[in-house]
Amino acid sequence: MRFAVIATPRSGNSVLRKTISAAFGLQEFAGHDADLLRAELPDNSIVQVHARYSPELHRVLIDHDVIIVTPTRHPLDTLLSMLHFKQFEPEVKNWLQANYLADLGGCDPTSKAFRAFATGEGAHELLGVSLGWWPHAHVTARYRDFSTDPTVILDYPGMPEPLLSRHHPAVRDSGSFARFHSAPNMHGWLGQPDYWRQFISTSFAEVLYEIHRPHFELGDFTIDGAEELTATQIRTNWAAAFTGREEGGSRKLGSRLTEKSQRVSTALTGAAAGAAGTAGLFQIFG
């Protein structure tokens, strides 16, 4: 049995790969090169790649009897997650082999660089991965539907009967968001749907909706609940959320943070009170 998780970055790909791998007892592969999909995967394996859809690549997977899994996520949550992950993971430069996030080091959601990325070719191409594979995947899933419990993917139409139940401790632990929250590269951040409302104002959300309408329509995503936030409000919200996720009413950081993120967190907390100070501090790790 062979699986391929192919989707837009920051859509829950790794969580699903880990969950499926544990449930079926699969060997795991992950990378940035579409040639990983062209090579014949070993039996009982799963591969994760962010690769543009092409009929040629699809035919290879069909010929190799690969089960394609494609998640999608609210485009605004996805773009913000990319912005955040860029600050901690240098490998984002290899997404689609294009380094679309090159100018986003040290940026916040109000920056000109982020607005240019979100309205430009980079966002279009990266969001297009899930859009392209969705009609051809055996299993499709929306992030908001599995964000609290990734094991639900095992009950989705198109998914074979797993070796281990979704309720097995090994399965539940393998793809748990807690594991990703503690990763040194901050691979897990807020891990919840619709946090974009804290960081993107109504006017910009409307612009992005029109530009990326097919990506919104893919998962029946809307911009309902958007508010007309000021730049100061957005920067303050970004500073407060930058280093982790609230769990049980308190922000559990500690070992979750690398030395770099601890330094950034301290600077963010100290500067969030003033818009000018906050605007300046985002250059400290650019």
Q: What is the distance between the alpha carbons of residues 243 and 84, in angstroms, rounded to a whole number?
A: 9
State the pLDDT confidence band at 152, using cuts at 50, 70 and 90. very high
Q: What is the distance between the alpha carbons of residues 73 and 31, in angstroms, rounded to a whole number?
A: 20
Percent of the chain with pLDDT over 70: 84
The continuous run of DSSP H or E covering 44 comes out as: none
Amino acid at 242: F
Q: What is the distance between the alpha carbons of residues 11 and 142, in angstroms, rounded to a whole number?
A: 8
Amino acid at 200: I
Q: Is the pLDDT of residue 185 over 80?
A: no
Pairing mode of beta strands 27-31, 139-142: unpaired
CA proximity to 231, closest of 116, 66, 97, 115: 115
Print burial letters for 62-75: b (CB count within 10 Å at least 16), e (below 16).
eeeebbbbbbbbbb
* pLDDT tens for each residue of 73-112: 999 999 999 999 999 999 999 999 999 999 999 999 999 9
| Residue 120: strand, helix, or coil | coil
All structural domains of the chain: 2-73+130-181 (3.40.50.300), 75-128+184-281 (no CATH)
Percent of the chain with pLDDT over 90: 76
Q: Is the pLDDT of residue 257 over 50?
A: no
Higher pLDDT, 191 or 120: 120
Q: What is the distance between the alpha carbons of residues 164 and 64, in angstroms, rounded to a whole number?
A: 24
pLDDT at 281: 30
Q: Is the pLDDT of residue 164 over 70?
A: yes
pLDDT at 269: 41
Pairing mode of beta strands 246-247, 250-251: antiparallel
State the pLDDT confidence band at 243, using cuts at 50, 70 and 90. low
Task: Dig out the tokens for 131 from the structure.
Answer: 């859009």
Helices (H), 152-274: 169-174, 177-181, 202-211, 213-218, 231-241, 259-271
- Residue 30 DSSP one-character state: E
pLDDT at 110: 97
DSSP state string for 128-161: HHHHHHGGG-SEEEEHHHHSS-GGGGGGSTTPPP
State the pLDDT confidence band at 244, using cuts at 50, 70 and 90. low
Q: What is the distance between the alpha carbons of residues 61 and 54, in angstroms, rounded to a whole number?
A: 11
pTM of the model: 0.84
CA dihedral 26, 31, 33, 34 (to 10 degrees): 30
99: left (phi over 0), alpha (psi -120 to 50) or beta: left
Angle at 139 between CA 136 and CA 141, to 5 degrees: 110
State the pLDDT confidence band at 181, using cuts at 50, 70 and 90. confident
pLDDT at 198: 96
pLDDT at 188: 80
* pLDDT tens for each residue of 17-38: 999 999 999 999 999 999 999 9
In whole numbers, what is the pLDDT of the chain averaged over residues?
Answer: 86
Q: Is the pLDDT of residue 284 over 70?
A: no
